[in-house]
Structure 1
């Protein structure tokens, strides 16, 4: 059985909110975010309420083999220019090796096949070497660098900008799928 049959993205439901908040408030997740503060349940509920009404944002929980492991956030969906921004993370600390790659593959397929976009953009904190490596591995191209864009712990931090077009993903996805099937499943 292909990993693609085990991987799925499900709409965020109210019953999922505690799990997502627990994931998001883990220090190692917060460290990769613009906002590193612990989020309250009240703030989280406001996010969910706004998400439900939004025409430019989508969130999905990533399941593998029926177990929730992470989340996909698609924001700033621009129907005119056919582009969006994405963010994601594996929240489960006991996720199997390669689960982030499977989440990325599943998410990119979902975005390009279910949202009318031609381009996905990403902003990565310059100190997040794991995410930088991930975006390159998935086929994103670095499009820019926002030098000293944010201040963290009194230090100026760069933001790395990435982009990928639908036709680029079409060319790279089969190779990435083969790597996943050869390494992780």
Structure 2
């Protein structure tokens, strides 16, 4: 069973009909600007990604809904059922949520739903993700939801010609 809020489904498996919305949301300049991979995603490149995701049992792509509207994506990669771990990521329909004045509450609900899904539906023992170190808002939100920084997993990478520090935050199931 997927997460729900007041009886409304908030996370569901992505479908073929979601592919273009996923690409549009991921290509938003604010989303690309806060990502490790900043390149514009073409329809062809996105179709190749979608085909790989659908064929890989270690990856999940979920559509997030807030206030009854699809408005975000949660991904789980490198799902290792034996270790009980996965890497997660997310992005939102920035323009649509800002227009409706719902960006912050939707973002918080997405994080709550993703954590619940990881430890409930997927049965993970730990879930973690990468964030660019300058993105203090995202790191603060992760901390609010119980994620801790793992210093040994920090690294630098080149993004658009500049070295960037990448921070790994992780949450471990407590029960």
Correspondence list, 1:46-57, <5 A = 46-57=48-59
> Are 1:7 and 1:65, in contact at CA under 8 Å, matched by a contact in 2?
no
- Identify unmatched segments of 5+ residues in structure 2: none
Residues 31 and 4 (structure 1 numbering): CA distance in 2 closer, same or farther, change over 3 Å?
farther
Confirm whether residue 164 of structure 1 aligns to residue 166 of structure 2: no
Residues 51 and 4 (structure 1 numbering): CA distance in 2 closer, same or farther, change over 3 Å?
farther
Q: Runs of at least 4 residues of structure 1 off by over 2 A? A: 2-7, 152-155
Correspondence list, 1:126-137, <5 A = 126-137=133-144
Confirm whether residue 140 of structure 1 aligns to residue 147 of structure 2: yes
What's the CA shift for 1:92? Answer: 3.6
Match of 1:90 among 83, 89, 92: 92
Partner of 1:15: 17
CA distance in structure 2 between the partners assigned to 1:131 and 1:60 by the alignment: 19
> Are 1:7 and 1:102, in contact at CA under 8 Å, matched by a contact in 2?
no
Correspondence list, 1:79-118, <5 A = 79-95=81-97, 96=102, 97-118=104-125
What's the CA shift for 1:32? Answer: 1.6
Deviations 1:22-69 (A, max 9, x none): 111111000121110001111111111111111100010001232011
How many residues in Structure 1 have an aligned counterpart in Structure 2?
166
What's the CA shift for 1:146? Answer: 2.2
Between structures 1 and 2, the one with greater helix share: 1
Helix, strand or coil at the partner of 1:93: helix
Partner of 2:71: 69
CA distance in structure 1 between the partners assigned to 2:10 and 2:170 by the alignment: 24
* TM-score (norm. length: structure 2): 0.88
